[in-house]
Structure 1
Amino acid sequence: MKKSLIALAVLAASGAAMAQSSVTLFGIIDTNVGYVNNVATAGGGDTNKYGLGTSGASTSRLGFRGVEDLGGGLKAGFWLEGEIFGDDGNASGFNFKRRSTVQLAGSFGEVRLGRDQVPSYTKASSYDLFNQAGIGQFMGWSAWGGSNQTAANSNNDANGVRSSNMVSYYTPNFSGFTAGLGYGFDEKSDAVNDKKGRYVGGFVAYDNGPLSVTLAYDEKSALTVNGLKGVDRNVLTLGASYNLNVVKLVGIAQQTKDDRPGLSKGKNNAYMLGASAPVGAGEVKLQYALYDQKVIDSKAHQISLGYIHNLSKRTSLYGTVAYINNKDASSLGLVAKGLGNTGIAVGDNQTGVQVGIRHSF
């Protein structure tokens, strides 16, 4: 009898603990049939590429997140998330490089530790109508000839949108105002430049009714840009949107500036204007971007048209057509994951098409 009572007490205590915590499996599978022309070849010519691709409307992903209620408004949690390549089943393996954080949240806001999107990108990128995915996406967050990926240091993605070894803080909402701040440690991983891999940046935002405005700034230290080492890069981004219900207007203005040792500053400016409108069970999106690459005195123009048709809350069909026009020394190519290299020759133009299905769970 006593053993039964003890067992019941243990089960009751276990049930109470489980009621205060939860773990969720989530993800997105986005696979498409794609086509891109004028892809540069090793022999100096060009070719057309077509086949099955991934992440045309949203980045495919698989993740686990959990939260524990500690009482008094305090919560602890974790988030592990990795990218899925539905076209080949992650032939190169699966990892949690999209996000791997542990966090503590309460009335003070939220503190995260680990690898994550940098705060400056998290909010500012939300104004891209194409979700930073597929051939239609705004490419202001490009590597611009830079990389911080070496065998000794892989703190930052080449495009700087994520950082490892990062501490970040997000404020609560103060009457529509929010902010975020992050610091990525370099951890002295490079014997030549002890700042390599360091990140610092953040954003302030205001969201009230139909209006949203964000100002973001970040700095990455000791990048290698076009073979030149020790380059410090800062990015300033202003994004905004206004929802008129019948149409949503968005815009981004961005400046990427490189402090290059022994040379003048290198600068790349990017601008985007877009509009989306609900149509029946779907949404039509039109977006224009200008990439003013002052560092090479060249420009590129991109126009993207897309439609998403929602079959349910979790499943949708989509189609995107995009065109990029490179001027002078510009060689920006459309992003079509799964088709391999889609780079183009200097001054060439490129057209791409993606038709696919997206399912979230």
Structure 2
Amino acid sequence: MTCKMMAAVLAAALPFAASAQSSVAVYGQVDAAIAHEDADAPGVASRTAIHAGQASSRIGFRGTEDLGGGMKALFNVEAGFGIDTGMGDSALFGRRAVVGLEGNFGMLTIGREYTPIDNISGATHILGQGFYGSNLNAFANGRMTRRISNSVNYKSRPMAGLKFSAAIGLGETPTGPSQDLKTVSVEYQQGKLFAGIGYATYDRLASGSDREMIFGAAYGFGALEFKGNYMVGDQTGPNNRYTQANLGAAMAFGPGKLFGNLQQSKLQNGARGNGYAVSYSHSLSKRTNVYASYGTTVNNERAAFSLSAAGSTITPPASALGADPVAYAVGMRHTF
């Protein structure tokens, strides 16, 4: 059913591509890796699998219409799918689905959108939230929020390098806690220097609000890049404070680029996992590259933290404290 819906949307979008009044584009990327993954847990066998290894496969439609006076209407819908089976995600346009206005005031959108915290986490993570060892495990474990549905989002225009973002995701619940998520961020960019800070509250329980925070920075010069971030997911209740720190570097040489990242995840109860990752990407053209990726998470005796790549999260069972998940992959990515 999802594939039929995708075909119908594509067929409906094509006539608009020729419209003189608006601009509509079809875009996406296809990523496939052969991966070997081991959760290092008793009774859990290692596996060889095919899935995205650098960036999730997707297809999207985006467009704008000039409304005059420096204002334009815009939309963007984006669907994810698995390269191994061709199956779409459970929500057709679950990756992004927004419509809005953009002008001198900034940009205002309504729909399902990435959080300001996720925007900063992506801009300050050397692995691009894709290769093994990425910070996607912070979002996969439910401690941080990557996308918000039922949301109203505002992004200011850059002013002297500064940009402000704010969003509210409505829980739409008739009773009990509102389930609303409110979030703000400030970003600064000047050349290859970037810094950002974000904060969010989530009214998940009646007893109090969950809090999420991030600080991240990135800098590059010549062939070198350095990126790092620190995230906090403080859920209501005792011993629930989660933190993750990432520090990475990359070096480009010719068509190749080498990435390395150190990661530490911690819980207030003393659980700690140290992550180590290295990846290499080789460009065959502007739109196609091949890559190799390796990552592991070394957990202490109180922890069972996961290891994530774009298409997979390896999580030891909660009973397997001290398990050290490890994975490596080779793959190819093509963008269009």
Give me the TM-score of the superposition, normalised by structure 2: 0.88
Q: Which of 284, 296, 304 is equivalent to 1:323?
A: 296
The equivalences for 1:132-171 within 5 A come to 132-139=129-136, 141-144=138-141, 146=142, 159-171=144-156
Q: How many residues align?
A: 319
Deviation for aligned residue 1:348: 1.0
Q: Which of 248, 252, 262 is equivalent to 1:278?
A: 252
Deviation for aligned residue 1:235: 1.2
DSSP 3-state at the match of 1:120: helix
- CA separation in 2, counterparts of 1:106 and 1:322? 43
Residue 6 of structure 2 is matched in structure 1 by none
Deviation for aligned residue 1:123: 2.8
Letter in 2 for 1:243: G
- CA separation in 1, counterparts of 2:312 and 2:124? 26
Q: Which of 226, 243, 263 is equivalent to 1:289?
A: 263
Letter in 2 for 1:284: L
The equivalences for 1:107-146 within 5 A come to 107-139=104-136, 141-144=138-141, 146=142
- CA separation in 1, counterparts of 2:204 and 2:301? 29
Do the aligned partners of residues 140 and 32 (structure 1) sit closer, same or farther apart at CA in structure 2, a change above 3 Å counting?
closer
Residue 201 of structure 2 is matched in structure 1 by 219
2:60 is the alignment partner of 1:77: no
DSSP 3-state at the match of 1:343: coil
Do the aligned partners of residues 48 and 337 (structure 1) sit closer, same or farther apart at CA in structure 2, a change above 3 Å counting?
farther
Residue 49 of structure 1 is matched in structure 2 by 47
DSSP 3-state at the match of 2:332: strand
Do the aligned partners of residues 93 and 267 (structure 1) sit closer, same or farther apart at CA in structure 2, a change above 3 Å counting?
closer
* Equivalent pair of 2:55/2:130 in contact (CA under 8 Å): yes
Deviation for aligned residue 1:194: 3.4
Letter in 1 for 2:47: K
Residue 352 of structure 1 is matched in structure 2 by 327
Deviation for aligned residue 1:267: 0.9
- CA separation in 1, counterparts of 2:88 and 2:115? 27
- CA separation in 1, counterparts of 2:39 and 2:240? 28
2:184 is the alignment partner of 1:207: no
Do the aligned partners of residues 289 and 279 (structure 1) sit closer, same or farther apart at CA in structure 2, a change above 3 Å counting?
same
DSSP 3-state at the match of 1:142: helix
DSSP 3-state at the match of 2:123: helix
* Equivalent pair of 1:99/1:115 in contact (CA under 8 Å): yes
Unaligned runs of 5+ in 2: 1-15
* Equivalent pair of 1:136/1:306 in contact (CA under 8 Å): no
Identity of aligned residues (%): 27
Deviation for aligned residue 1:91: 6.2
Residue 249 of structure 1 is matched in structure 2 by 226
Do the aligned partners of residues 103 and 124 (structure 1) sit closer, same or farther apart at CA in structure 2, a change above 3 Å counting?
same
Do the aligned partners of residues 239 and 348 (structure 1) sit closer, same or farther apart at CA in structure 2, a change above 3 Å counting?
same
* Equivalent pair of 1:257/1:265 in contact (CA under 8 Å): no
Based on CA coordinates, which of the two structures has the bigger radius of gyration?
A: 1
- CA separation in 2, counterparts of 1:318 and 1:247? 19
Residue 154 of structure 1 is matched in structure 2 by none
**For each residue in 1:16-47, what CA deviation from the matched residue of structure 2 results, as whole angstroms up to 9, or x when unmatched?**
x932311111101011000112354xxx5232
* Equivalent pair of 1:34/1:336 in contact (CA under 8 Å): no
* Equivalent pair of 1:220/1:232 in contact (CA under 8 Å): yes
Unaligned runs of 5+ in 1: 1-14, 147-157, 224-228
Deviation for aligned residue 1:265: 5.5
Do the aligned partners of residues 49 and 338 (structure 1) sit closer, same or farther apart at CA in structure 2, a change above 3 Å counting?
farther
- CA separation in 2, counterparts of 1:19 and 1:91? 32
| Range moving further from structure 2, 60-69 or 229-238 | 229-238
* Equivalent pair of 1:50/1:339 in contact (CA under 8 Å): no
Q: Which of 62, 65, 68 is equivalent to 1:65?
A: 62
Residue 4 of structure 1 is matched in structure 2 by none
Letter in 2 for 1:113: I
DSSP 3-state at the match of 1:239: strand
DSSP 3-state at the match of 1:66: strand
* Equivalent pair of 2:316/2:323 in contact (CA under 8 Å): no
- CA separation in 1, counterparts of 2:211 and 2:249? 28
- CA separation in 2, counterparts of 1:329 and 1:265? 13
- CA separation in 2, counterparts of 1:126 and 1:340? 21
Residue 185 of structure 1 is matched in structure 2 by 170
Deviation for aligned residue 1:349: 1.1
Do the aligned partners of residues 184 and 306 (structure 1) sit closer, same or farther apart at CA in structure 2, a change above 3 Å counting?
same
Q: Which of 143, 154, 177 is equivalent to 1:194?
A: 177
2:27 is the alignment partner of 1:26: yes
- CA separation in 2, counterparts of 1:140 and 1:338? 11
Residue 38 of structure 1 is matched in structure 2 by 39
Q: Which of 166, 170, 176 is equivalent to 2:161?
A: 176
* Equivalent pair of 1:325/1:349 in contact (CA under 8 Å): yes
* Equivalent pair of 1:176/1:208 in contact (CA under 8 Å): yes
